[in-house]
Every structure is written in structure tokens, then in C-alpha cells.
Structure 1
Amino acid sequence: MLNISFWYYLLGSMSISQSSAAPKYLQEDEIVPECKDLLSTLPKEKGWAEPHLYKYQGFWYPAWQFQGVLECQQHFQAQDTDILLVSAPKCGTTWLKALAFTIINRNSHSIDDPGKHPLFYNNPHDLVHQIELESHIDNPIFNPSSPRLFATHLPYISLPKCAKNSECKLVYICRNPKDTFISLWHFMNELRLNHLASISLEVAFDKFCRGVSIFGPFWDHVSDYWEESRKRPNKVLFLKYEDMKEDPNLHVKRLAEFFGVPFSIEEATSGVVDGIIKLCSFENLSKLKVNKDGKLPSGVENKTFFRRGGVGDWKNYLWPVMVERLDYLTEEKFQGSGLHL
């Protein structure tokens, strides 16, 4: 069994590089022996912002992240009232965390006095924790009152069995693969290890298309949750980032309904929904001091999570041949599924 104090060590050992916002991640030779032995048996390729990515249960992880995945699978205990926010990286995770936290806690943290709201003093990632990083740690902050709200980037196959088999609810958010790739490329270059050069757009693009990206392949990640949402719509709510940007009012109401805390008529008519949308908007959160100057416990600067937040940024980067390849892959992967991105 893996040492559950690992993430205490990891969070305490990360530091900011003098030359960039990149955290100093645990080196591969510092991984605990049990994990290292398993890693040695797995397929590996050169990573984007780390020496290697390892393929486990069909998806790719850096060594430090992989150890967290194993610990999560062994130790996380889902409760029937839990809510789990799920996404592939750079698909709207930060926004969804802010919205979900605010919707669920709107009675205890009113938006009527937004200057006192936790989002003014905490990055959304500080308020909703990733189960593959830290939720299994025996710490009161990870055991809030019901419903507990967590997040994960884990593919469906790698979720702890208790999360699949319990009555806990999953909210999955996906995004157009072209914008996802561009956002991921920028993000991973910010997080690269000090001794590694930036990964070029062309090299990263080829890896992404081959599925070799953190928590990738992207299309498999999305399609597995899409299929689960069709089989069990009461358990898995599937959202598209672009649809949420187009009609946030509708989707905030959908989230509240799915969480079991629908808005009352009084709330709907008094501007509560619009207030939540404004509070959690990219425009608002990106201007807050905590998200300009703050850092996560890992050492990652909060501003790293607020680059653009829009739709269609891929048009500024991708060549026509790249667009054609991504569109072909997307059509091929989702053919016959009823899903269109």
C-alpha cells in the first residue's frame, strides 16, 4: 500500500522557479518504491512539461501524478451525497469549480455581499480539491459537510470503484478539442520543469493527436463519460463548455437542479442566478488580487488558470492542415455516438 503522507511531502516540496511560474515537481527517482516498480512496467514517452508520461489503464500520466492516481484508487471513499466535477485538463475546470461551489453554498456564502465571498480570497482550485491529489488525506478541509464537492481529471476507467458504484453524482464538462489543445499547450509550457525547454506547437500537436498528453487521449476521455451520461443521466450530467458560454443562465439552473438544490422562484426573480454568473465569470475572477498574485499550495501561480477563457482562440494558432487533422480525428472518434464537438 502506498504511503498516504506522500502528498503532504509533495505539496510541501514544490517551489517556484526563479525564471518561470513552474513548480518544482517530485523527480522520478523520488517516487515511492511501490509506485516506481509499477512505472517500470508501463509504456512511456517523452512528456510535454516533464521527462516522461506513462500509460496506465489506457491513459497517460507523469510519474508524480500517477502516484496520486494509485493512492486515490486505494484510499478515496465516496459517499452517496458526494458531487464530483470531472473534466479533461483545460476544458473549463476552473469555471465549473467556481460555479458549483457558489451554487451549492449560496445559503452559507451569500452573493449579496460579494466582497466577503470565499471566491474573493481563494482560487476555485483551493475551494474544490482534486481527488487524485489530496482528497484522501486525513484533514478536516477534505471532509466538509454534505454534500461534499470534489473534482478530478481521471478518465472513467480509472475512477475509484466507489465513485462509480455509489449514488454520488458526476458532472462532466468537455470542450472543443482545438481550443482544449491550445489551452493545454500554453498551460504545460508554464508548468515545465526548469531544465526542460518549451515544447513547440508542432511537437505538442502531434502528441495530442496521438493521445499522448496528460490524462489523454482526449477523445477517449470524453467519449467514456458521454456514454455513461447516456446510460445513467441521473448520475452523470454532461456539459459542453461552448454551450455554457452561450447560455450560462440555462446551465447554472441545470447544475442547481442536478445538485438537488434548485433555485426557488424568489431566487430566480431576484437576480441570484445572474449574480452567480457574474461572480464566477472569467472577467471577474481574473481581476481579483488572489488570482493575479496568489499561488496554490503546489506553487503554481493562480494567474496561470486565467489566460483567455473564450471560444475560438485556436484560430490564432492552428494551421489549416492541423484543423483538418483534428476535425478528422474528432469525427472518427465520435462517429455514431451522437456527440458533436
Structure 2
Amino acid sequence: MEELISKMPEECGRYLPEIFSFFEAAPNGEMFTWKDHLFGATFPAKTVEYVHNNWRPRDGDVLVASHMKTGTSWVREMVRMILYGDNEELDRLTRAATTPLTYIEGGPVCSLRMMDCLPWKRRIFVSHLPSDILQIDEYLKKDIKVICPMRNPKDQAVSCYHFFNNLPYRRANGYKDVIAKDWNTWFENHIAGKIPTSCKVGEFYPSHILSWLPYKNHPKFLFLKYEDMKKNPLETVSKIATFIGKPLSDAQAAKIAQETTIDRMKQRLDEGNLAESEILKELGMYRKVENLLGQVGGWKEYFTEDQSKRMDEIFRKKLEGTGLTFDYE
């Protein structure tokens, strides 16, 4: 990250001590609510409020708007490589722009000021916020692109289970009461909306989907399904490239699709050449790439028959009339 900081205005370097102090203190942080939404320690109230009221994107920005564990890092890396993978310097610099220069609501408010100093024209951001908290209608006044990956809720739940149980603060303060190691307890807490995922208290993944679905036919939006991405990554890369206005040759698309396979991303993660590598190690969240890019159908190793039926029924009722369905294997 040192090279990246050297390319930014001098004042940006002054924010680093506050940012590192924030993440060092995160393991002792607490869950909190803002506008009845439940957040974890790394998405602080002041930052969420600042994002809601003040922060706006610039023309050309790309936003990956997703719920947790739906392919966020995968899509972001595809976008990054499409925009900058053919430029050696920008490829290197954009890899260094990890959390807190990625998640709009992640980190202290000063991290947003650093984001505004990133030394390239088209920035790539991520948010797990529902559309109303993000105030997406204000964002759409700019010439931006929004990509919304979605994933079947059973695999998403299992991936969330592993993610939260790997967090360094999972046993701190209020977390230990809801971040259960026992899968059955976790499942009940998950569907009861007790996990801090930016949804309203008492709600979970389907409410996040419903906040974004009204935009599914908007020209500035591209909705993707994780399962389709797994089936045809080459088609996904080409679709994203065309959508963000940087179409690729067949050879270029094939190269990016190969670089973002599970095996290759695992290798790059271990080598420190994946955008998430440095910060994952810093936060004690360094995890196997299989947890970043899980297989479709892995939920069967966790869900009981009753849990599977209950999840089906919840999503049937919540998404009734939307036409949205998911593949589970």
C-alpha cells in the first residue's frame, strides 16, 4: 500500500494512523443499530450516517451492491481486472486498494476521504447496505454502473456461518450471543435477523434483495446470479465488460476468466497478489479461497430437511411476484 499512498495527496497519509487504530480496536467493538438496521463493528454508525447523508460517487465509478457472501469479492476482482488488468502500474496499484478503500461503509469516516483521493478515474466500490440506506437514487444522478450479484440463500447462509465464525471479534461483547459455532443455533439466529448484516433488526437476506430488485430493469444496473457465474465465468466476464463500457476480445475475456477461477485465486491469495490478501492478514481474517468462492450445493452438508423446507418457504413468501428464483445445485 506504500506505493499507492505515495501517489495520493500528502494529507491522505495522515489518515492512516486513525484507520489502523480503528481496525485494531474492531475486535473489541460492539454491534449497533442505525435507522433500525443492525451493523457490526467494522461498519461504524458515524460512517454509515455519513454515507447516507453526504458521500456520493463520481461519474465513471462502478459499485458492487451485494449482500454478504454472494460473490462480492469475485465480482469486484473481475471488474478490477477488466478495467486495469492490462496496465501494469494500475493493476498493481488497484490491487493495493483493499479495505478500507473498498467498502463504502467500512472503516472510519476518514477512509471515505482517502477513497476520494484514489489516483485513477474509474473507482470500484463495494457496499452491503440496502438501497434505501445507501440512497441509491442520489447515486444514480451520476454516470455510474451498479452490479448486483445474488446467490441462493442456502449456500449464502453456510458461507456467512463460516465467515462470521472466522472473525476475530466473534466472541466479543454481544457477538458471542449470536455468532454460534453450532450450526443449528446459527441457522435460527440467521433467519431471525439477529446477525449484523446491515439488514433491519429481525430481517435477513430476502429484505436486502427486495431493496434492490426494483432496479432490475434500470439501464445502470446489472444483476447476476452466483450460480450462473459458476456455470459460465467466461460469459460473465464478457457481460460485465460490455456493461461497464470496456468490451474485451475473446482472448482478454478468457484470460480474466482463468485468473478468477477458484484454483487461480487461491494461488494468488497465497502469493499476496489478490486484492484482499493484505487486509485479510491484518484483520486476522485470512481464510481459504473456498470460503470466498464456495461451490454450489455445499449447503446440503449443513441443512437438515426441515431447515431446507423452512428456507424455501421463507423465500417463496418474501419473493412472491418478483419472478426471482435460485439454483441450489
TM-score (norm. length: structure 2): 0.78
Report the secondary structure of 1:243's partner residue. Answer: helix
Give the Cα separation in 2 of the matches to 1:13 and 1:166.
Answer: 31
CA contact (8 A) 1:98 1:124 kept: no
Change (3 A) 1:156 1:13: closer
Give the Cα separation in 1 of the matches to 2:40 and 2:118.
Answer: 27
After superposing the two structures, state which structure 1 stretch, 173-182 or 305-314, moved more: 305-314
CA contact (8 A) 2:166 2:285 kept: no
Change (3 A) 1:323 1:7: farther
Quote how far apart the aligned CAs of 1:140 are: 6.7
Give the Cα separation in 1 of the matches to 2:171 and 2:98.
Answer: 27
Give the Cα separation in 1 of the matches to 2:123 and 2:224.
Answer: 20
Report the secondary structure of 1:302's partner residue. Answer: coil
Quote how far apart the aligned CAs of 1:26 are: 6.0
Give the Cα separation in 1 of the matches to 2:311 and 2:169.
Answer: 28
Quote how far apart the aligned CAs of 1:191 are: 0.4
Change (3 A) 1:256 1:72: same
Residue from 184, 206, 217 that aligns with 1:219: 206
Give the Cα separation in 2 of the matches to 1:74 and 1:60.
Answer: 18
Aligned partner of 1:92 in structure 2 is 71
Give the Cα separation in 1 of the matches to 2:36 and 2:297.
Answer: 29
Report the secondary structure of 2:253's partner residue. Answer: helix
CA contact (8 A) 2:168 2:285 kept: no
Residue type of the alignment partner of 1:215:
S
Deviation readout 1:224-272 (Å, 9 max, x if unpaired): 2122123x1x111111000111111111111011101112xxx22xx21
Give the Cα separation in 1 of the matches to 2:224 and 2:71.
Answer: 10
Runs of 4+ residues over 6 Å off in structure 1: 4-7
Deviation readout 1:85-110 (Å, 9 max, x if unpaired): 11101111111111010011133249
CA contact (8 A) 1:89 1:215 kept: no
Aligned partner of 1:60 in structure 2 is 38
Aligned partner of 2:224 in structure 1 is 239
Give the Cα separation in 2 of the matches to 1:155 and 1:186.
Answer: 22
CA contact (8 A) 2:161 2:186 kept: yes
Residue type of the alignment partner of 2:265:
L
CA contact (8 A) 2:15 2:111 kept: no
Unaligned runs of 5+ residues in structure 2 are: 1-11
Report the secondary structure of 2:287's partner residue. Answer: helix
Number of aligned residues? 294
Aligned partner of 1:171 in structure 2 is 147
1:276 aligns with 2:249: no
Identity across the alignment (%): 22
Report the secondary structure of 2:216's partner residue. Answer: helix
Quote how far apart the aligned CAs of 1:284 are: 0.7
RMSD over aligned Cα, in angstroms? 3.2
Aligned partner of 1:37 in structure 2 is none
Report the secondary structure of 1:309's partner residue. Answer: coil
- Counterparts of residues 79-228 of structure 1 (less than 5 Å): 79-109=58-88, 118=92, 122=95, 125=98, 129-133=102-106, 137-139=112-114, 142-160=117-135, 162-193=138-169, 195-196=171-172, 197=176, 199=180, 200-213=182-195, 214-216=197-199, 217-228=204-215
Change (3 A) 1:60 1:164: farther
Quote how far apart the aligned CAs of 1:273 are: 1.1
Residue type of the alignment partner of 1:149:
I
Quote how far apart the aligned CAs of 1:57 are: 3.9
CA contact (8 A) 2:131 2:211 kept: yes
Give the Cα separation in 1 of the matches to 2:228 and 2:283.
Answer: 32
